[in-house]
Structure 1
Amino acid sequence: MSRRSIWSPAGATPRRAYAQVTDKDGNLRWAPTTVNVDNHLIRPTLDPAAVAANPDKAVEDYVASLSTLPMDRSQPLWEFHLFDFPTSEATSTAAIRVHHSLGDGMSLLTLLMACTRSAADPTRLPAMPPLPSRTGAIYQRPRPSAGVLAIVAWVWSFVVLAWHTVVDVVGFFATILFLKDPHTLFKRVNHAETQRKRIVHRRLSLDDVKFVKNAMKCACVDMIKSGKESHVKWGNELGFIILPFFIGMHSDPLDYVRKGKKVVDRKKSSLEVVFTHVAAEVIFKVFGLKAASAIFHRMISHTTISFANMTGPVEQVEFCGHPIVFIAPSGYGPPEALTVNYQSYVNTIMINLALDEGHFPDYDELLDDFVESLEHIKNAASRLGMHHRKA
């Protein structure tokens, strides 16, 4: 993994680019090279009949085929695949393929946002949600005049933090060494990374999600703030949190939210993500890329599903003068059968699935289930609010 980014933030000069080369010892390293933009702009030739019959599926099928094709390592590892025909969502589509060695999801999305401008005012960067204020005893340093109980609660919060961190770190290493998820329909048997992955998406209402969040008193964390690119470290800053994934049926749809909230609240009182990030850095520097990749692959192979979420602009943005209708990031390298990504943009949340076609042939029905589940949860939250008002 490299901390070098192929692009520079908007306005930075000169443009630098790097390609992966193999040295005399057989190790990969980054070498500066010249960028020929034409080599990175790809206009696929698709079957006209397939495009006319179903343009959405034509794009979807082509993007799925990319998951089986290696990138050209003789040049910088990024590509723009351009589809200049209308789909049900937009007049044209760009599929951007970027090798994960260039950066993590946060840095790459921040870089993309730095290249866009507000559609309402092209002279400024897009508006992003404000950063949240941290709450909880650990963030509230007691005043000198605070009572004994307040000081004890503050100290106890650090004890709880340390204990939860130890437990989570032990669980993390146990997952790498021997702890495996049981085999279910979600678990992938074949871990071949060249297995074809289909990437599909569906829109959810951000207002509906916020309504449920407020009704259930859940917390959210925003990651990026417009105009603060200096706060984002370019490259890969990876950390992991292992979450229990409960499969079961509940009569009350809100029980799913309650159980998830309980798990996440517990994880917030832990430094697991910080420790796993540091551990990944140490393993990479001490044992090298191959060892780090093998350990990462083993850890992911022992789990069932990967989740990731990113915060996007709260207003429509333009890229090179073209309005962006939707943003749907994902990845197809992990060996799991299903990867779930959430991306907010204006008043929508795009749920994006990268899935093994063999495991999920009815992926449209799976996407419908996400939409239907949110509707059931929202309706239950509405009834909960009405009950509280009557009480």
Structure 2
Amino acid sequence: MDEIQGHKPLKPIQTSRNGKRSIINNDDGQPLSPLAHVFHEPGSNLYVIGIFGSKTKINPEEAKPKLINGLLQHPRFSSLQVFDKESGKLKWKATELNVDDHVVVPKLDQNMDSPDKFVEDYICNLTKSDVDKTKPLWDLHILDIKTSDSEGVIVYRVHHSIGDGTSLMALLLACSRKVSDPEALPSIPVMKNSSLIKNSGFWSVLQLVWNTIIGVLLYVATSLFLKDTETPIKASKRVEKNGRRIIVRNVNLDDVKLIKNAMNVTINDVVLGVSEAGLTKYLNRRYGELIDKEPSEEKNYLPKNIRLRAIFYVNLRPFGGIKVRAPLTFQFLASINYTVQVAGYLNYKVFSNTTLWFSNVPGTGDEIAFCGHEISYYAPTCYGQPNALMIHAVSYVNKLIFIISAEEETIPDPHQICDDLEESLNLIKAAVLAKQHVKDD
């Protein structure tokens, strides 16, 4: 989320003179990539799921044609994944797509008692199931119900083999338009060149080589035996099929920038610091509940020498100026594509031996309309992983949005994690303001 130099517009989608879609499916008949195969292995069968909050009442009949002209520009959204007997691998096969098979519009009671809880439960139920494999592996749900922060909710679900979070974000933004200019595509962040790339001297190269060696050793050790401490947020075995609660919390991006500037750090530093502080508060409370009948937030219940690691996802392909900096894991998986099962097993071991996933990416600075509906927030995350907790942070206009994806048996109170994250941000902000006040005096 750091080193943002500016924004550049997305490229427009090309259409023929008569306005009809013109799609050449270059993937038709091609095998899935090694990484896409891994996403079908047990413990790595992942789905990207995202939530759009709409500022206006959702009109499904208005949204569907825009979906056709947006999502379906990517041929994988109109392709099946079929088993090829000759190669023994899955391959893409183009198919006629009926949008009504993928767009779900349930009839809802507009006077229900708790719309927010209904939406949370609805999404949780989605995380307990897979998309029907006899059709392209995606669907979209339009929930025409007013919640506390939106007039309606759009939920999309896409199998991770279709694309990663970055490519799907780019595609979803391509389906959107600026609110300020309905004909214009939203801008995407452009990243500055890495200081490591600029300072490619001997010591920088040596540091890169050393860190790479350490990373490889830790990866191998984690896949074989190195496990995190069993804590209240560490998942037990085989939780990947359990339901997950997905909670969204918006905070003020200006508060994050205030802390960033005052401490001369990056936005990533602030997000990670807030996340560490929030998780510390949450873990301390959970340990306190195990020890005291009436735990005190002022008392430290945390045991010493906790090993708690997060898997941090880094984009490996150029997107909006982001450079390829750490292709080791991808190249490793590609090098063993002759046995996807081995790659899937190693992935599962690394995932299950660590505690949580973490991801933060910059979003667009423009207010956008998705499929003709002005968006108040968007919240991408995923499910299907053998970890109990994922924290995702994404920026949108003047908001920083925390998305918690929590396995509901291990973490029964994910709203509390959001509360602790928000409170930690406020405490850090208050400390910064107090320090500035002292300097001014």
Normalised to the residue count of structure 1, the TM-score between the two structures is 0.77
Shift of 1:220: 4.7
Encode CA deviations 1:2-22: one digit per residue, 9 max, x unaligned: 489xx9995996956211223
SS in 2 for 1:343: strand
- How far, CA to CA, are the matches of 1:62 and 1:12 in structure 2? 25
> Who is 1:287 aligned against?
339
Encode CA deviations 1:328-362: one digit per residue, 9 max, x unaligned: 01111111011111111100011111111122222
Over 3 Å counting, the alpha-carbon distance change for 1:11 and 1:102 in structure 2 is closer
Over 3 Å counting, the alpha-carbon distance change for 1:179 and 1:15 in structure 2 is closer
Report the AA paired with residue 208 of structure 1. D
Shift of 1:213: 1.7
> Who is 2:419 aligned against?
368
Encode CA deviations 1:179-213: one digit per residue, 9 max, x unaligned: 11111111011323211111111111111111112
Out of 141, 146, 155, the residue aligned to residue 81 of structure 1 is: 141
> Who is 1:277 aligned against?
330
Out of 247, 250, 253, the residue aligned to residue 200 of structure 1 is: 247
Contact 1:85 1:91 in 2 (8 A): yes
* Unaligned ranges ≥5, structure 2: 1-31, 37-66, 269-275, 285-296, 299-309, 315-323
Contact 1:165 1:272 in 2 (8 A): no
> Who is 2:187 aligned against?
127
Report the AA paired with residue 109 of structure 1. M
> Who is 2:261 aligned against?
214
> Who is 2:21 aligned against?
none
Over 3 Å counting, the alpha-carbon distance change for 1:36 and 1:135 in structure 2 is same
The within-5 A match list for 1:318-357 is 318-357=369-408
Shift of 1:389: 5.0
Encode CA deviations 1:249-299: one digit per residue, 9 max, x unaligned: 899xxxxxxxxxxx9xxx9xxx9832122212223x2322x3322221111
Over 3 Å counting, the alpha-carbon distance change for 1:15 and 1:357 in structure 2 is closer
- How far, CA to CA, are the matches of 2:384 and 2:123 in structure 1? 14
- How far, CA to CA, are the matches of 1:356 and 1:185 in structure 2? 12
Instruction: Give the structure with the larger strand fraction.
Output: 2
- How far, CA to CA, are the matches of 2:75 and 2:91 in structure 1? 19
- How far, CA to CA, are the matches of 1:314 and 1:281 in structure 2? 35
Contact 2:391 2:403 in 1 (8 A): yes
Alignment of 1:378 with 2:429, yes or no, is yes
> Who is 1:106 aligned against?
166
- How far, CA to CA, are the matches of 2:232 and 2:325 in structure 1? 28
> Who is 1:230 aligned against?
none
Alignment of 1:162 with 2:209, yes or no, is yes
Report the AA paired with residue 383 of structure 1. A
Identity %: 35
* Unaligned ranges ≥5, structure 1: 142-153, 222-243, 252-262
Over 3 Å counting, the alpha-carbon distance change for 1:169 and 1:33 in structure 2 is same
Out of 75, 90, 97, the residue aligned to residue 35 of structure 1 is: 97
Shift of 1:81: 0.6
Over 3 Å counting, the alpha-carbon distance change for 1:13 and 1:302 in structure 2 is closer
Encode CA deviations 1:21-45: one digit per residue, 9 max, x unaligned: 2334764332221111110110124
Shift of 1:125: 1.3
Alignment of 1:177 with 2:238, yes or no, is no
Contact 1:307 1:339 in 2 (8 A): yes
- How far, CA to CA, are the matches of 2:74 and 2:194 in structure 1? 38
Out of 5, 9, 19, the residue aligned to residue 80 of structure 2 is: 19
Report the AA paired with residue 82 of structure 2. V
Contact 2:237 2:352 in 1 (8 A): no
Higher RCO by CA contacts (8 Å cutoff, separation 6 or greater): 2
Contact 2:239 2:388 in 1 (8 A): no
Over 3 Å counting, the alpha-carbon distance change for 1:15 and 1:305 in structure 2 is closer
> Who is 2:288 aligned against?
none
Report the RMSD for the aligned CA atoms in angstroms.
3.2
The within-5 A match list for 1:241-280 is 273-280=326-333
- How far, CA to CA, are the matches of 1:183 and 1:104 in structure 2? 30
Report the AA paired with residue 425 of structure 2. L
Contact 2:239 2:387 in 1 (8 A): no
SS in 1 for 2:217: helix
Report the AA paired with residue 80 of structure 2. A
What number of residue pairs does the alignment pair up? 334
